[in-house]
Amino acid sequence: NCRLISIADPVPAGVRSITGSVTAHARESNQENTGYSFVNCSIGGTGWIWLGRAWRPYSRVVFAYTSMSNIIASDGWNDWNDPSRDQSVFYGEYKCTGDGAHLAGRVPYALELSDVQALPYLNTSFIDGDLWLKPYCDSLISA
């Protein structure tokens, strides 16, 4: 339920050069139990940005139920100039909405997740949240 606000350099109308990235996950091996999962979020702000770039070969990022504005580049993701990473990264999108959520122009290694594929990323168990997150309480949030 977070709002991600890009402060990347604005891009002049008609120009499509990348000025930022929401994530740059660094997972060195498929055995590492790490990654980013954004659920019920919104992405806005400035720039022309990727959802993620592969800082390391096994980068893992999922966006689910996320509203994406038109600042998201149509390819969505980047292998950080290492095509070998196309086979090892895990970049997933699940039931996202908005002008930046169109999957038609995404890189071939980006995944449109099925219900079964998305399930492990939709709650805090993915990050062992029951071990360290305090219980959420609406009364702690001021209007």
pLDDT digits (tens, 9 = 90+) for 84-135: 999 999 999 999 999 999 999 999 999 999 999 999 999 888 888 888 887 7
Which structural domains are found in the chain, ordered by start? 2-6+17-130 (2.160.20.10)
Tens-digit pLDDT profile for residues 43-54:
999 999 999 999
* Beta bridge partner(s), residue 64: 39, 94
Q: pTM value?
A: 0.90
Of the candidates 63, 143, 56, 46, the residue with the CA atom closest to the CA atom of residue 106: 63
Q: Which spans in 1-143 are helix H?
A: 115-118
